[in-house]
Structure 1
Amino acid sequence: MEIIKYPSREEWASLMERPALDVSTLFDTVRTVLEEIRVEGDQAVKRYGEKFDKVKLSTLEVSAEELNEAASFVSDDLKKAIKTAKANIEKFHRSQQFVGRKIETISGVFCWQKALSIDKIGLYIPGGTAPLFSTVLMLAVPASIAGCKEIILCSPPDQEGKIHPAILYAASIAGVNRVFKVGGIQAVAAMSYGTESIPKVYKIFGPGNQYVTAAKQLVSLKDVAIDMPAGPSEVLIIADEKADFGFVASDFLSQAEHGADSQSILVTTSEKIVEPVVQAIHEQLKQLPRKEIIEKSLAHSRIIVLKEQQDVIDFTNAYAPEHLIVQTEDYMYIADRIENAGSVFLGPYTPESAGDYASGTNHTLPTNGYAKSYSGVNLDSFIKKITFQEITSDGINGLGETIQVMARNEQLEAHCNAVTLRMNKK
């Protein structure tokens, strides 16, 4: 963990570097898998499942019996927690529902917009070092609210051919229609092209390792839409002398345990808090089971001391963090000046963990600086909007000359003629 005090603005760019892998180096490998699955379908999916997940499957789809059985393996307290989180996520995302209005732009010219669900959605849920059943809720719940007709979920099985029961339980209560025991590149390929067992979808959502990220990037070029570019998870924390150092340290570490390539950054104007926070980080780290992963993450994490509060705000907006935590006395003042962030957590009692699981906001967020141009997943992510217009005879006569002049100046006479004929109609 680096500690940098009062760097010049010229040094900021190097301090904002992420530990991201250039996935383009994986493209040749990924293309091979994608193409074989596109051509061979289920046969190739099973072959790569045996190679990568070390399990030989006769069928890819999770059966109704397996879904029912999974519920019996989930403890009552976890079921209750999942249901509470689902309810909050549902309430927040329902508040985002689109209400269109018919507008008369000028007399006789009516325009409006209609929101429709994307019919077929694919969700990828990693199975790696932690079962991300929370991500099932974050993706399937808004997809259900949007009215998506077919919600497909793929997740890698363990060596016994099973998907973690909490993932299956979350899928069963969140509106997922079908679940498949497929991971990695092969899951992305199967949902992009369709196989004998797995339907083709129109948009793929969900996190994954660098191979999944590379696969999503490649298929998004022509075959299917994706949620957003992805990279390692990250947090930037702004804190002052009024902050609880233990809270700051816990947020720093909770982000670091996501993965070895995660990044935590603390930015402050108070040099006095550096040592207490570092000490709290070391003390809490001793008690954490994912210590090895966290230590790797801390190797590219930083504490940065800047001179002025405006420097902190400018640095934050330039970094554009996936998660931003503000633990300062005047946190609302800072919040009002944040322009680039995936999700913002304000005040001492708002840990990132709340948004990750159960407050209601979505945890699928832009990383690697993409918060400058991308939103996190929300209800609109599962919706497409169609515009409509209706023009009366009086309307085309009122607007027609404007259209004619513009069409002629673009040298598109057929466009002009389509209006002229209507204006001359008696």
Structure 2
Amino acid sequence: MASLPPKSKSLNVGGPKGDIMSMSNSSIVPSSLLTSSQNLTSSTPKSGLVPELKKKKSSGLSKSQISLESLEALQFQTPQVGCFKDDHYQVELTMNPQQKLNPFYEDMAWSVALNSEGTLLLVGGKSGKITGYKVSNGVVHKEPQLVFEKHSGEVLSIIFLSETLACSSSSNKEIFIWQTTKNTMNNYKKITVDDNCLVLKKGKDNSVVLGLLNGVLEIWDYVALTKIRSYEIKASITAVEIGHKEKQDGYYYVGTMDGTLIVLFDYDGSLKLVTSLTSKEQAMICHIIAHPVEPLIYVTYSSNKLMVYSTDVSIGILAVATYKGFYTNGYAVHPTLHPNGKTLFIGSATHGIYVFPFIQFPISKKTEIIGFKNNLFIAEKTPVVHVVFLNANNALFIDAKGNAAVFSVEIN
């Protein structure tokens, strides 16, 4: 039986406050998750700003307390080649002229999933549809292979549970488990939950992890359709990651709307709190991704900040680096690690794509790192929100209007 780690004290993780730039009229969260204007406290945003984070009332745990400010579209060029270089890496991105896929999705794509074999790509979002595309040798086939239209609300999260089994959630408290092969619309199961699920993760064995907006983390057996574990956090869950390495087995990293990073451990049949870390500016945690090899997690905040945390259980959960320079629009922009684990890609509302180098581990002191930037866009005025590596040499970029293109990626 695994031993329970010692409980750490809560820490405050400081960082510079940043402005959140609006992204081509795209929301930072699905519009159907927003509360009505009468439930929000009024404020006057600064010129050129954004979505603003609001604290929840105790009676409104199931709603996102976020108001939106639309901005005029920013003026950008659309270069076909991008080049990033520092002392350690040179990254070249070149658009494949035969793989400019416009339109690729009808509207904002909130979630994208690629199966482990890299043969099927699922895209879902604001329209409520999930479209599946065949992928072969780093090339996306232009005609959809499948369309799943069972959801009645905006698609929030999509994951693969196996090569041909998908799980998806929507803004109407719907979670479906469905086959991506024949008879897709009639071959599905449903998980019943009490609130909207903003994030899904594939767990161990036959389990799926749900992060709900009412502040409850749930783990389900998706074969038996039974709940295995649950943990109440009492703050809307906006991000979830699971420990990958052997030493991180059983760990769950949970991000909330008020900027708290919570670490849980699966011990003796239940989830136990290990530690929690809070951000001084209480900016929403948008995404958490774990490094595939090193004991590190990357956490993006709606305050234009990406923090790197050590998850080495022998020293505790520590902030070891801050990546700065980019402007996201909260939940819309997804960070992505290159398959080699040495570079991280993230879109920006002002500079197209940022590429950050890998932090050598172990790290002796906390550092601040500015990423390489390039005004690389698929279409003018529209920021890139997803970077999906089809293989080590080809990446699919998807922007906030559903345009997409495949770029060749060279890292030297």
- Is TM (by shorter chain) over 0.5? no
What TM-score results when the alignment is normalised by the length of structure 1? Answer: 0.23
Which has the larger Rg? Answer: 1
- Larger strand percent: 2
- Larger helix percent: 1
Question: Which structure would you say has the larger RCO, counting Cα contacts within 8 Å and 6 or more residues apart?
Answer: 1
What TM-score results when the alignment is normalised by the length of structure 2? Answer: 0.24
